[in-house]
A and B are shown apart, each in its own frame.
Chain A
Amino acid sequence: QSALTQPRSVSGSPGQSVTISCTGTSSDVGDYNFVSWYQQHPGRAPKLMIYDVSKRPSGVPDRFSGSKSGNTASLTISGLQAEDEADYYCCSYAGTYTLVFGGGTKLTVV
């Protein structure tokens, strides 16, 4: 159960697009289409933004999209807004009812 690998930080300007990567192995990200992305603002509980690689829960703007290729999943945020500044975590199913999170990525909107 090794943590998935995410960049520690990314940044973008309002209106731009950013992509956050999440690299796992053939035992987690690469083997299952069960990857989720969470947004967490300081002092707040995480919020589900993407599940099953690319599905958006109701209420999540379509500016947020997810994809996967091989052992790497990605979250893309287009039309960046100030309120998107937060920590983002990926999470993957890892077999036998276990999950694994990424280390988290701090998104700064400059």
Chain B
Amino acid sequence: EVQLVESGGGLVQPGRSLTLSCAASGFTFDEHAMHWVRQAPGKGLEWVSGISWNSGARDYADSVKGRFTISRDNAKNSLYLQMNNLRPEDTALYYCAKDIEGTVTPGGDSWGQGTQVTVSS
């Protein structure tokens, strides 16, 4: 059974940093691209970032480009999101999602339960 468990969320002041982690199990992690998707309270889904199976391709939503960095450690079956210079509008539930393919596609076939990030002074 595929399991994705996010961690690292919390309450942080504007301008500060936070790193999210996603521990994956139940599938061959290094064969699949991975994504971070967020959902602000009462709002829709927003794709944040994606990374290919071998980290050779990665990109970001314009809203986070230059502030967030996605990475993965295939030896540890883990996905990360380093978030710098956080803003109140980054407040959301952050989901980790497994791609159906090894490269970035919109096919996220398994999702974690999310970790809450709240940016507030």
CB-CB < 8 A to B1: which residues of A? none
Interface 9-mer from B17-25, B76-84, B109-117: B109-117
Considering the chains assembled together, what is the distance between the CA atoms of A92 and B104 in angstroms?
Answer: 11
- Cβ contact of B44, chosen from A1, A52, A89, A99, cutoff 8 A: A89
Q: Does B58 interact with chain A (Cβ within 8 Å)?
A: yes
Q: Cα distance A99–B9 when bound, in Å?
A: 23
Query: Could you tell me how many residues of chain A have their Cβ less than 8 Å away from some Cβ of chain B?
Result: 28
Q: CB-nearest residue of chain A relative to B112?
A: A45
Are A46 and B61 neighbours in the complex by a CB distance under 8 Å?
no
Cα distance A93–B50 when bound, in Å? 11
- Chain A residues lying within 8 Å of B57, measured Cβ to Cβ, are 97
Interface check B118, CB cutoff 8 A: no
- Closest B residue to A91 using CB positions: B106
Q: Is the beta-carbon distance between A99 and B47 smaller than 8 angstroms?
A: yes
Complex interface residues of chain A between 4 and 36 (CB less than 8 A to chain B): 34-36
- What residues on B are CB-neighbors of A87 within 8 Å? 44
Distance (whole angstroms) from the CB of B46 to the closest CB of chain A: 6
Tell me which residues across on chain A come within 8 A of B109, comparing CB atoms. Answer: 48, 51, 57
Decide if B114 touches A52 in the complex (CB within 8 Å).
Answer: no
Residue in B closest to A1 when the chains form the complex, CB atoms? B62
A-B pairs, 4 with minimum CB distance: A51-B107, A91-B106, A36-B106, A45-B111
Q: Chain B: residues with CB nearer than 8 A to chain A?
A: 35, 37, 44-47, 50, 52, 57-62, 95, 97, 100, 103-109, 111-114
A-B contacts besides A35-B106, A38-B108, A98-B50, 13 pairs, CB < 8 Å: A34-B106, A36-B105, A36-B107, A45-B112, A46-B37, A46-B95, A47-B111, A51-B106, A52-B105, A52-B107, A89-B44, A96-B59, A97-B59
